[in-house]
């Protein structure tokens, strides 16, 4: 007699998948590398944005798969003793500083863990020495920000702020505690001034820049009237800013007389100018500490030949030259190369030269170029896969890698490890407190 298969098991409530928008209750046990709480709901791994280990929470589902749920904290039944009160009143909507509920020391810990896990997962390497994190102020650190502007035709109103979390909509901001104080003061007064302009429907975005010559850059989609320009001039003068206008051609031009924005590396006695739109680090305290640590780790000798790849306006190259190295800086943008050259001239540094090259392609040094014993690179988020292979082929002895993405740093570390390099030191740099963004520095040495 054939054995029957039996009746199918009845579906229970525990088998039903979570629905987007559903409220669920669960206990959180640990943190992800990006700061979300992890727990289990009906056997499914659940990530809760805004949650901490040890908390009992009610969360709202934002994404659900068969074995994985993503949710956002809605209320606390039991709170962690580690929970901090966020300083920003826009934390519930703004997508920027998502870790304000977490103690700063805990933020550093998860960033350190993220770097270590990525290095182990992608490259199976661990540094011979972990460096302590580079840290600065937890708030009031950011000296550069872009503020979105959007004209709502139905409401006949201008929205001024940052993108909402997981949305293209804007949250109108009244303050931003991570900005340096002088820029936050300007931000508080900015919306009323902009809403009073005649060209309010044709505004693109605003950038606020601190540093040596603070500035406001306004992107506009049609010419501004004389009255609008007068209002902008009065506002920027009141807040100690120069005013720059950026029209359809994308070029920022000063409204009246204005010095280019600049920042200072006090300990290297350097001032570096840049144009609105150029990449520069937003955290001046960490940038100074990062440059100091780079010089310490590379330990260049007077006259030593050093490459600085993705050199920007000369942030590392000029510091290396000041330390006595003979530096060649390479950058993809002709305009930024010109500004780096100008910064070298203004700072009276002759042993540094700059050239433009596409660093996504094999590095080609000029004919007769000397051998470089050390190199520094500060690539974008997609890393420097081609560059690290080229540096290994050039037999560079020491390679210092500045990273804004631990995953691509780990991938490139694996390439270097396969070509005979040892990861000597590594550590995180807290460039963006209150966020899950991880910056890191790693030193590789030829075995």
390 conformational bin, left if phi > 0, alpha if psi -120 to 50, beta if neither? alpha
Phi, psi of 133 (to 5 degrees): -60, 145
DSSP state of 60: E
- The first and second tokens of residue 111, run together, are 């960033």
202 conformational bin, left if phi > 0, alpha if psi -120 to 50, beta if neither? alpha
Catalytic residue among 88, 94, 176, 404: 404
Cα angle 15, 21, 22 (rounded to 5 degrees) comes to: 40
Give 12's pLDDT tier (boundaries 50, 70, 90): low
State pLDDT tens for residues 120-141.
999 999 999 999 999 999 999 9
State pLDDT tens for residues 403-416.
999 999 999 999 99
- Please report which helix (H) or strand (E) contains residue 322, including its range: helix 317-322
Of 65, 77, 66, 89, the residue nearest 26 (C-alpha): 77
Long-range CB contacts (within 8 A, 24+) of 105-112: 106/31, 106/82, 107/35, 107/430, 107/433, 107/434, 108/133, 108/135, 108/428, 108/430, 110/31, 110/32, 110/33, 110/34, 110/35, 110/436, 111/428, 111/430, 111/436, 111/438, 112/428
Contacts for 206 with CB less than 8 Å, ≥ 6 apart: 146, 147, 149, 160, 190, 194, 216, 217, 218, 219
Overall average pLDDT of the 171-192 stretch: 96
Phi, psi of 331 (to 5 degrees): -145, 150
Give 58's pLDDT tier (boundaries 50, 70, 90): very high
pTM of the predicted protein model:
0.92
- pLDDT value at 381 more than 70: yes
Give 2's pLDDT tier (boundaries 50, 70, 90): very low
Per the annotation, the verdict on 404 as an active-site residue is yes
Give 363's pLDDT tier (boundaries 50, 70, 90): confident
Count Cβ atoms below 10 Å from residue 360 Cβ, excluding itself: 12
Please, which residues bridge with residue 61 across strands?
71
Q: Minimum mean pLDDT among 3-17, 95-109, 341-355, 400-414: which range?
A: 3-17
Cα–Cα distances (Å) from 210 to 70, 149, 178, 262, 266, in that order, read 37, 20, 13, 8, 16
Overall average pLDDT of the 306-321 stretch: 98
Contacts for 368 with CB less than 8 Å, ≥ 6 apart: none
Q: Minimum mean pLDDT among 89-98, 153-162, 269-278: which range?
A: 89-98
- pLDDT value at 4 more than 60: no
Overall average pLDDT of the 172-201 stretch: 96
Residue holding tokens 């902009």?
194
Contacts for 111 with CB less than 8 Å, ≥ 6 apart: 133, 428, 430, 436, 438
State pLDDT tens for residues 93-122.
887 899 999 999 999 999 999 999 999 999
- Domains assigned to the chain: 19-83 (2.40.50.140), 107-137+283-446 (3.40.50.150), 144-254 (2.40.50.1070)
Inter-residue contact 204 to 220 (CB < 8 Å): yes
pLDDT of residue 367: 57
Inter-residue contact 291 to 319 (CB < 8 Å): yes
Inter-residue contact 42 to 69 (CB < 8 Å): no
State pLDDT tens for residues 220-273.
999 999 999 999 999 999 999 999 999 988 889 999 999 999 999 999 999 999
From CA 80, how far away is CA 53, in angstroms rounded? 7
DSSP state of 184: H
């Amino acid at each position: 007699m054939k054995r029957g298969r039996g009746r199918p098991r009845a579906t229970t409530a525990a088998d039903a998948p979570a629905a987007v928008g559903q409220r669920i209750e669960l206990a959180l046990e640990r943190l992800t590398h990006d700061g979300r709480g992890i727990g289990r709901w009906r056997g499914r791994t659940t990530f809760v944005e805004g949650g901490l280990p040890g908390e009992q929470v009610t969360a709202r589902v934002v994404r659900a798969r068969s074995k994985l749920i993503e949710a956002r904290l809605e209320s606390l039944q039991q709170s962690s003793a580690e929970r901090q009160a966020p300083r920003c009143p826009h934390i519930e909507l703004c997508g920027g500083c998502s870790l304000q509920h977490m103690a700063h020391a805990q933020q550093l810990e998860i960033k350190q863990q993220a770097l270590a896990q990525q290095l182990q997962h992608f490259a199976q390497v661990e540094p011979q020495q972990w460096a302590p994190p580079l840290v600065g102020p937890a708030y009031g650190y950011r000296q550069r920000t872009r503020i979105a502007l959007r004209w709502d035709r139905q409401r006949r109103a201008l929205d001024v702020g940052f993108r909402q979390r997981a949305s293209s909509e804007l949250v109108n901001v009244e303050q931003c505690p991570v900005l340096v104080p002088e820029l936050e003061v300007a931000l508080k007064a900015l919306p009323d001034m902009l809403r009073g302009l005649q060209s309010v429907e044709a505004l693109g975005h605003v950038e606020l820049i601190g540093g040596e010559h603070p500035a406001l850059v306004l992107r506009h989609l049609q010419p501004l009237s004389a009255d609008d320009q007068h209002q902008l001039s009065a506002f920027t003068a009141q807040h100690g800013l120069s005013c720059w206008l950026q029209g359809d051609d994308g070029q920022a031009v000063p409204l009246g007389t204005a010095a280019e924005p600049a920042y200072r590396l006090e300990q290297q006695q350097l001032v570096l100018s840049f144009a609105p739109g150029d990449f520069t680090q937003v955290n001046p305290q960490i940038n100074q500490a990062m440059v100091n640590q780079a010089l310490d780790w590379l330990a260049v000798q007077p006259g030593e030949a050093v490459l600085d790849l993705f050199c920007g306006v000369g942030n590392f190259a000029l510091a290396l030259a000041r330390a006595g190295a003979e530096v060649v800086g390479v950058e993809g943008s002709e305009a930024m190369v010109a500004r780096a050259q100008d910064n070298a001239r203004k700072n009276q540094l002759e042993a540094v030269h700059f050239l433009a090259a596409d660093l996504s392609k094999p590095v080609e040094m000029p004919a007769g170029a000397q051998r470089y014993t050390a190199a520094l690179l500060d690539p974008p988020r997609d890393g420097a896969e081609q560059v690290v292979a080229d540096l290994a082929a050039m037999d560079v002895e020491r390679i210092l890698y500045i990273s804004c993405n631990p995953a691509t740093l780990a991938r490139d570390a694996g390439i270097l490890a396969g070509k005979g390099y040892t990861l000597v030191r590594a550590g995180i740099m807290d460039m963006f407190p209150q966020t899950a963004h991880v910056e890191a520095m790693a030193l590789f040495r030829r075995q």
